[in-house]
Amino acid sequence: MPKITRELNAMQVARLRDDGVYAVGGVPGLYLRVEGVSRAWFLRVVVGGQRRRMGLGSLAAVSLAQARELARAAQGLVKGGHDPIAERQAARRGAALAKAKALTFRRACAMYIAARESEWRNPKHRTQWVNTLATYAEPVLGALDVADIDTADVQRVLEPIWLTKTETATRVRGRIEKILDWATVRGSRSGENPARWRGHLEQLLPQPGKVAKVQHHPAIHVADAPSTVVRIVQAAGVAAQALLLLVLTACRSGEVLGARWSEIDLDRALWVIPAERMKAAREHRIPLSRQAVALLRALPVVVGCDLVFPSRQRDKQLRPLSDMALTQLLRRLRVPCVPHGWRSTFRDWSAETTGYPGEVVEMALAHAIKDKTEAAYPKKERRSWINSENARESASTWSSCVPL
């Protein structure tokens, strides 16, 4: 008859001080090993005909009662034909793999931005991504594993700002969606994206267009354009010259401030902005009016610098003039508009005083042309129009509206 081990109580176990291995009873094969200051539990089991030793933790972390419970669970697995040691090792490997794949939203934001920022033509895009996510998303989602983020989490980000900062909220939602899509492809999460709009959040949040009216850029009325340009001319300075070119060409401020002499052919009165500098990623050809050519010919050219409007920074390097220089000039002159508003003024002028088709005006503004317009104006025909006398006449007509 096998010997039955005397069952020790917690007090008796605590008194075991000498080095050795002690059977504590209660569960067959449960022992406490004492080596110096170290005291740890282990269980002797027979798995597949082989004696195995399974550690159950230290006495400091696992009480006698807990050790017996763990030992009984392991014995139960053995009786059921399982290997508790192999299964625990597999569980640990799975946990280690999950930990390796685990990715917090904050870390995902940084990795996504680092991976995609080379696609953004304007450095402001990176700043906008970083700032909006840090301000609105990361306080709620930052410490969460991307695998655990659900619809309720996304709602907690968006609901406080959806009605008061609708445009910002829609951008934040789109950015969260892209980051979670990226995390899914990377293998850090699975399932549907809780930040998607169509068929999901649109059922929980009001339509953005019905929450807040679109705020257009402040612009000068067509009738006030000539007198306003006179004030800009009188202001003089590099910022005033850049703003005048913006007015004469109806370009975006970034396109003007980043203008290169290598893009401009004054003899042909043509400015060709390469695709990489355009919002629509398409080359934009601008017929220059007499006034625009005269303005450009009068500008000084800095030796060794291709920039049309260079600005010397504190580090002595020449870089494009800041967009704020144009805004500050308008504020100083107390002109109630922003640089981008001149494109709206140009659009109003073309609609109110000319007979040019709307599609042609959209081309002049370098807007993306929709499918119907693409069909009506094939690429070859559009390029032909841009190079035609009609286009040059249009540029001159607008320039005559802003006397120089």
CATH number at residue 198: 1.10.150.130
Check residue 76 and give its pLDDT: 86
Name the domain boundary from 166, 192, 211. 211
Q: How many domains does the chain have?
A: 3
User: Does a structural domain hold residue 4?
Assistant: no
> Residue 62 burial (CB < 10 Å; 0-12/13-18/19+)?
middle
Check residue 403 and give its pLDDT: 60
First-to-final CA distance of the chain: 116
Check residue 112 and give its pLDDT: 95
User: Does a structural domain hold residue 216?
Assistant: no
Q: Are 361 and 350 in contact (CB under 8 A)?
A: yes
3-state DSSP assignment of residue 47: strand
Based on the domain organization, do 392 and 288 belong to the same domain? yes
Structure tokens at 265: 């052919």
Based on the domain organization, do 169 and 72 belong to the same domain? no
Q: Are 305 and 296 in contact (CB under 8 A)?
A: no
Based on the domain organization, do 290 and 183 belong to the same domain? no
User: Does a structural domain hold residue 2?
Assistant: no
Based on the domain organization, do 64 and 174 belong to the same domain? no
Check residue 2 and give its pLDDT: 46
Based on the domain organization, do 27 and 124 belong to the same domain? no
User: Does a structural domain hold residue 31?
Assistant: yes
Name the domain boundary from 149, 180, 211. 211
Which residues have a Cβ under 8 Å from the Cβ of 33 and sit 6 or more positions away?
20, 21, 22, 39, 40, 41, 42
- Determine the Cα–Cα distance for residues 178 and 195; give it in Å rounded to an integer: 9
Based on the domain organization, do 94 and 126 belong to the same domain? no
Check residue 365 and give its pLDDT: 86
User: Does a structural domain hold residue 62?
Assistant: yes
Structure tokens at 377: 């104006």
Check residue 212 and give its pLDDT: 59
CATH number at residue 324: 1.10.443.10
The DSSP result for 237-282, as a single string, is HHHHHHHHHHHHHT--HHHHHT-BGGGEETTTTEEEE-GGGSTTSS
CATH number at residue 72: 3.30.160.390
Q: Are 142 and 111 in contact (CB under 8 A)?
A: no
Name the domain boundary from 60, 76, 101. 101
The DSSP result for 312-330, as a single string, is E-TTS-EEEPPHHHHHHHH
Check residue 373 and give its pLDDT: 45
Check residue 216 and give its pLDDT: 62
Check residue 397 and give its pLDDT: 60
Q: Residue 88: name the closest of 117, 57, 115 by CA.
A: 57
User: Does a structural domain hold residue 242?
Assistant: yes
Check residue 356 and give its pLDDT: 76
Classify residue 368 by its DSSP letter: P
What's the length of the chain? 404
Return the number of other C-beta atoms located less than 10 Å from residue 98's C-beta.
Answer: 11
Bridge partners (DSSP) listed for residue 307? 260
User: Does a structural domain hold residue 282?
Assistant: yes
Based on the domain organization, do 94 and 123 belong to the same domain? no
> CA-based angle 367:373:379, to the nearest 5?
80
- For the entire predicted model, the pTM comes to 0.52
Based on the domain organization, do 385 and 238 belong to the same domain? yes
> Residue 346 burial (CB < 10 Å; 0-12/13-18/19+)?
buried
Domain containing 182: what range?
Answer: 105-211
Q: Residue 293: name the closest of 335, 348, 248 by CA.
A: 248
Check residue 329 and give its pLDDT: 92
Structure tokens at 336: 């109630």
Based on the domain organization, do 266 and 351 belong to the same domain? yes
The DSSP result for 145-165, as a single string, is BGGG--HHHHHHHHHHHHTTS
10-residue block means of pLDDT along the chain (404 residues)? 71 90 90 92 86 88 92 87 81 68 89 88 82 94 94 96 92 96 92 95 90 69 90 90 94 93 95 90 90 93 91 80 90 91 89 80 77 46 46 58 60
Based on the domain organization, do 237 and 377 belong to the same domain? yes
Check residue 388 and give its pLDDT: 46
User: Does a structural domain hold residue 97?
Assistant: yes
- Determine the Cα–Cα distance for residues 296 and 349; give it in Å rounded to an integer: 24
Q: Residue 132: name the closest of 86, 181, 171, 100 by CA.
A: 171
Based on the domain organization, do 79 and 226 belong to the same domain? no
Based on the domain organization, do 232 and 190 belong to the same domain? no
Classify residue 224 by its DSSP letter: G
Check residue 362 and give its pLDDT: 83
